[in-house]
A and B are shown apart, each in its own frame.
Chain A
Amino acid sequence: MKVGTPVTPVKTPMTELPSASGLKVIVSSVASDAHTWNLVFLQLLLEELGHRVANLGACVPDELLVEECRRQRPDLVVISSVNGHGANDGRRVIRELRGHPETAAIPVVIGGKLGIDGADSTDQAGLLEAGFDAVFEEGASLASFGSFLRSIPAGVTT
């Protein structure tokens, strides 16, 4: 798998960001997951809430995500995966992120369809233990994601 450059975020007609006080957010898939509608949706949603988004796109290798986090110093990383490998890939990449001093403290959440047997079968406790700050498996309301976002301070890691 080639490590490419981050893809251009979807070109939304919203060029003016409502506020500079929003969070700097990286939206990313995991290494094996090609789905992108989830990423486009989350990018638009976050932008509408006033945050700045870098969308890394599909099939993001662990090293690329770590590298982008070191370079961009985001306030929050939102990982989305729906192909059923999300929990497995997520456990691996969060270990990487927590293992680097520069990225260890960045809040990281994961959501989507994380296993192959439906929302109820995911080991959410295991993911939290591995280092995620929150897990939003399908069925979790976007409202709870909204309140989580409001709890994140901007500019802490910069």
Chain B
Amino acid sequence: MTVPARRPAPAAPPQPLPPGSFGAFVSAARAAGRLVVQPRMGMSDPRAMRAGLAATRAADATTVGTLTIDSYTRVGDQAAARRALADGVPLNGYPLVTYDPAVTRSVLDGIQDHTFPVQVRHGSAAPQDIVAALLLAGLDATEGGPVSYCLPYGRTPLTASVENWVRSCELLARTRDHGVEPHLETFGGCMMGQLCPPSLLVALSVLEALFFAQHGLRSVSLSYAQGTDPAQDEEALHALRRLADVLLPDLDRHIVVYTYMGVYPRTPDGARLLLEESARLAVRTGAARLIVKTAAEAHRIPTVRENAAALEAAARAAEAETAQAAAARAETARAEATQAAAARAAAAPAEAASRPGAGEAAASRLAVRPVPDTGIHAEASALVQAVLEISPDLGRALPLAFERGYLDVPYCLHPDNAQRTRSYLDTDGRLRWSAIGSMPLGGIVELAHEPRLTSGGLLSALRHVEQRFDAAALDPSPTHRPLGDGHRPPARAALLEEGR
């Protein structure tokens, strides 16, 4: 199977989603022009968890709720979770499997409903128990993937993860018998949180969505994590949409952006600037949902209040970007209309006026604001195609693709990752490949001389974004203040110059 160049006509029109399902909620918000914002929130105390969900719902933003699961539950160590709860040791998330389903239902009761869906975020390569527990609690939306919740998350063999994910998808898909439409989001757009070049993120996100579809899911979202350069991210998100349109035509689907998943700015203002940049990225690229990071990210698990503040800051930045785009569209339309009038006045043939769509077309061209094609789509297509050529059955193809090194995640220590690729940040702050190992990217990417890897070099690459935004936050000029200060958002071009 190859990646067709054009979108084939859909085999059947997507079926309408039951109202109140995660996918339907997000589509409705998108149709209304509102970006859905969502926290990464999880506490071990059920009362705190409930308060967090209530605050998410009450936030001045279009929100969905999150139960983020703790690390013991993620690795399947229920005994450790139970002991920690008994000893009063606070966990880094909500131990969904350990609590009785009645406890979780009481956490959700009166908060989760068709106007406020709740998703479970977990990070497990063996999520069957987690999926069973979320279904028992009356939930039907979660995320992850056979690759993205395996390679960066531990030492479970990839083939075992694939089997576990097949079973988990089937478990979720079966809930359709009860009239709900389960939703599954790929985590493939965030391998290792940082320093993974965009094309591999796009390819993995698409491949995991295809895997979900093969195992019965009909409502999915495709993730992409904000990287080091806004133009590169924009290009990647367009590539992701193009590939999803071609390869997943019959599914309910949307794109979800993650606010930066790597080493985060330490200052509150730096954290906010980076969050706001991700919200603008989501709006510019037509993503439907954004998962935010808080000002506590660099330091510790965030409080409920910090989560709510992040949701609202992201919503304000998204609204400002939406308004700006609308104003730009109106401006273009006005300019076109004036031009047309001038043309008529000059008694030119009524050609301009006879093209009523001209203004709209120009405006939508402006709204898309195309970024230069540096080859992300071509790279991602080559990776996806190489995997699909191994076998159209992704459960078979994915482990073989890693075994052969067709997919190979830089800096990932998992034993099933070939570890022959490497990435680096170029002098413009863009993520590039310095070694492609056996990935089928020969002739597509321009390889740089591989810089010698040192602890200092690695640390400065990891801290590039942190330092750029902390430096911007410490800069007293008004263009660098976060939105909440009553100043204008920072100019994109200005931000790019920071911190080098």
Question: What is the distance, in angstroms, from A124's C-beta to the closest C-beta of chain B?
Answer: 16
Q: Does B152 contact A (CB under 8 A)?
A: yes
B84/A88 in contact, CB under 8 A: yes
Q: Does B459 contact A (CB under 8 A)?
A: yes
- Which of B71, B77, B91, B455 is the one whose CB lies under 8 Å from A34? B71
Q: Does B270 contact A (CB under 8 A)?
A: no
A40/B413 in contact, CB under 8 A: yes
Q: A7-B413, A88-B89 are in contact. Are A44 and B75 (CB under 8 A)?
A: no
Interface size grouping (class) on chain B: 35 or more
- Which of B76, B92, B412 is the one whose CB lies under 8 Å from A83? B92
In B450-469, the 8 Å CB interface with A consists of 450, 452-455, 458-459, 462
Residues of A within 8 A of B267 (CB): none
B414/A59 in contact, CB under 8 A: no
Residues of A within 8 A of B454 (CB): 44, 48
Question: What is the distance, in angstroms, from B9's C-beta to the closest C-beta of chain A?
Answer: 43
Q: Does A2 contact B (CB under 8 A)?
A: yes
Q: Does A116 contact B (CB under 8 A)?
A: yes
In B75-109, the 8 Å CB interface with A consists of 75-77, 80, 84, 89-92
In B44-80, the 8 Å CB interface with A consists of 70-72, 74-77, 80
- Which of A1, A13, A14, A113 is the one whose CB lies under 8 Å from B76? A1
Tell me which of B155-163, B198-206, B229-237, B319-327 binds A: B155-163
Closest B residue to A48 by CB, please name it. B455
B71/A85 in contact, CB under 8 A: yes
Question: What 0/1 readout, one digit per residue, does chain A (85-117) give for beta carbons within 8 Å of chain B?
Answer: 100110000000000000000000000010111
A33/B419 in contact, CB under 8 A: no
Report Cα–Cα, A26/B267, bound state, in Å. 34
A4/B411 in contact, CB under 8 A: no
Question: What is the distance, in angstroms, from B159's C-beta to the closest C-beta of chain A?
Answer: 11
B155/A57 in contact, CB under 8 A: yes
In B378-427, the 8 Å CB interface with A consists of 411-415, 419-420
Report Cα–Cα, A84/B90, bound state, in Å. 9
B91/A8 in contact, CB under 8 A: no
Q: A32-B80, A83-B71, A84-B92 are in contact. Are A44 and B413 (CB under 8 A)?
A: no
Report Cα–Cα, A58/B412, bound state, in Å. 10
Report Cα–Cα, A8/B415, bound state, in Å. 7
Closest B residue to A64 by CB, please name it. B155
Q: Does A55 contact B (CB under 8 A)?
A: yes
Report Cα–Cα, A44/B450, bound state, in Å. 16
A34/B84 in contact, CB under 8 A: no
Q: Does B6 contact A (CB under 8 A)?
A: no
| Extra contacts besides A13-B452, A44-B453 (19): CB < 8 Å | A1-B76, A4-B156, A8-B413, A8-B419, A9-B413, A10-B419, A34-B71, A34-B152, A37-B194, A37-B411, A37-B462, A39-B413, A41-B455, A45-B455, A57-B155, A58-B153, A84-B71, A116-B92, A116-B301
25 A–B contacts from the bound complex (CB under 8 Å): A1-B154, A2-B156, A4-B155, A10-B411, A12-B453, A34-B123, A34-B154, A36-B152, A36-B411, A37-B411, A41-B459, A41-B462, A48-B455, A57-B413, A57-B414, A58-B414, A59-B154, A84-B91, A84-B301, A85-B70, A113-B300, A116-B91, A117-B300, A117-B301, A118-B299
Which residues of A come within 8 Å of B, CB atoms? 1-2, 4-5, 7-14, 31-34, 36-37, 39-42, 44-45, 48, 55, 57-59, 83-85, 88-89, 113, 115-119
Counting from the closest, the 9 A-B pairs by CB-CB distance are A59-B154, A44-B455, A4-B155, A84-B92, A45-B455, A32-B71, A118-B300, A116-B301, A34-B153
